[in-house]
Chains A and B, each alone.
Chain A
Amino acid sequence: MSRNDVLVTVDWVQDNLGTPGLVFVEVDEDTSAYDGGHLEGAVKLDWKQDLQDPLRRDYLDKTAFEALLSSRGIGNDDTVVLYGGNNNWFAAYAYWYFKIYGHRDVKLMDGGRKKWELDGRPLSKDAVARPATQYVASEPDLSIRAFRDEVVAAIGSKNLVDVRSPDEFSGKILAPAHLPQEQSQRAGHVPTAINIPWSKAANEDGTFKSDEQLAALYGEQGFDDSRETIAYCRIGERSSHTWFVLSELLGKKNVKNYDGSWVEYGSLVGVPIEK
């Protein structure tokens, strides 16, 4: 696995729109972005409406994921290229999700919607309909997903990478600052976690930094290559961005995303918290 296997440039995408076997998928929390203009032929996945279980706090089970992808016209043999707003946070979450269910070929568009828009590239408002498929998912691959007990057990023994902003890590604020600061969970971070904000891995236009820059970044911040790793943020989407960097771009082994993240950990009774 290397950068060229998992990341495509906006130039490449623009040249390949409409190519059979390629499906472009926009993943956002705010679907008004897609509705206001999307890549020609791209289908939409709504992070909340489509990708979360409507009742429990969890992602979709295998059957529901199969139904979702079938309805969007995504086949097992298609190459899926994901992109989205928020510097690709939710697209990276979807990438991780597609890997959980074993999709063979999935990539991110480097820079996402932001890079595309800043370059002034064309967007389409045309409705997109793809013929339904019969998608078959694999059993979930839990080797890339961490649960709460694993996080508690990892204190002092694994790389715990808190990818939130320094002010969230220190407990000064409880959520990214585009959201109201009213949350029920306690403020702070998991003891022994190192704070390497997701944003340090990205350029201002939303593209990923070079492999050399990324390798240097984690090395300087105390990332220990001999240990297993768990990344977390507030709800698991920014940590998907870092999971992508560590696992897919840098090829580090045994990296998990803790999608329960601070909203879960900061609400647990009796677990240790550092501030």
Chain B
Amino acid sequence: MCGAPKQGGALAGIDLNTQTVIQGQVWHDGAPVAGAYVRLLDGTDEFTAEVVTSPEGEFRFFAAPGTWKVRSLAPVGKGERVLDAEVGLNETTIVID
């Protein structure tokens, strides 16, 4: 329920007509970052959720339409991305410099 569901993988079973999915990968130095902590912040920068990336560096959130910030925290550093999400699939990549 409130734990961390498996990140990445197929979108089977997810209704993209109703869900606002924000997903993507975390990259550093030309490779995906596994085990990075990725948090979703709302329009006021308040924490909404956090997941840990899959072995392929993937993360996925179920949000609502609007502006969101995705921030990644890993031993190699931090990165973030702001995006405007709509109902359906919203994909983004976070690069840690």
- The interface of chain A, by Cβ under 8 A from chain B, is 28-30, 32-33, 47-48, 85-87, 89-90, 114, 117-120, 165-167, 172-173, 175-182, 197, 199, 204-205, 234-235, 237-238
Q: Which of A167, A177, A179, A182 has the most CB atoms of chain B within a 10 A radius of its CB?
A: A177
- The interface of chain B, by Cβ under 8 A from chain A, is 1-6, 14-15, 18-20, 22, 35, 37, 40, 42, 44, 46-52, 60-64, 66, 73-75
Picked from A114, A181, A237, the residue with its CB within 8 Å of the CB of B19 is A181
Cα A179 to Cα B62 in complex, Å, equals 6
B3 touches A30 (CB 8 A): yes
What are the residues of chain B within 8 A of A32 when measuring CB–CB?
Answer: 6
B62 touches A197 (CB 8 A): no
Given contacts A89-B2, A166-B46, A178-B60, 13 further A-B contacts (CB under 8 A): A29-B1, A85-B3, A85-B52, A86-B3, A165-B48, A167-B42, A173-B64, A175-B62, A176-B49, A177-B62, A178-B49, A182-B18, A199-B47
- Given A30-B4, A89-B2, A90-B3: A118 touches B37 (CB 8 Å cut-off): yes
A114 touches B62 (CB 8 A): no
A181 touches B64 (CB 8 A): yes
Cα A197 to Cα B50 in complex, Å, equals 14
What are the residues of chain A within 8 A of B19 when measuring CB–CB?
Answer: 180-182
- Given A85-B52, A114-B37, A165-B42: A178 touches B47 (CB 8 Å cut-off): no
Cα A182 to Cα B11 in complex, Å, equals 15
- Given A120-B75, A177-B40, A181-B19: A29 touches B3 (CB 8 Å cut-off): yes
B42 touches A166 (CB 8 A): yes
B93 CB → nearest A CB, Å: 18
Q: Which of A117, A165, A176, A178 has the most CB atoms of chain B within a 10 A radius of its CB?
A: A178
Cα A41 to Cα B6 in complex, Å, equals 25
Cα A48 to Cα B4 in complex, Å, equals 13
What are the residues of chain A within 8 A of B40 when measuring CB–CB?
Answer: 177-178
B64 CB → nearest A CB, Å: 5
A-B contact pairs, 5 of them (CB 8 A): A85-B3, A118-B74, A165-B49, A180-B62, A181-B64
B36 CB → nearest A CB, Å: 10
Cα A120 to Cα B18 in complex, Å, equals 39
Question: Which residue of chain A has the shortest Cβ distance to B21 in the bound complex?
Answer: A180
B75 touches A118 (CB 8 A): yes
Picked from B15, B61, B73, the residue with its CB within 8 Å of the CB of A178 is B61
B73 touches A118 (CB 8 A): yes
Picked from A118, A173, A180, A199, the residue with its CB within 8 Å of the CB of B14 is A180
Cα A90 to Cα B5 in complex, Å, equals 14
Cα A176 to Cα B5 in complex, Å, equals 12
Cα A238 to Cα B50 in complex, Å, equals 13
B75 touches A176 (CB 8 A): no
A269 CB → nearest B CB, Å: 23
B67 CB → nearest A CB, Å: 12
What are the residues of chain B within 8 A of A167 when measuring CB–CB?
Answer: 42, 48, 64
What are the residues of chain B within 8 A of A199 when measuring CB–CB?
Answer: 46-47
Cα A120 to Cα B6 in complex, Å, equals 22
Question: Which residue of chain B has the shortest Cβ distance to A204 in the bound complex?
Answer: B73
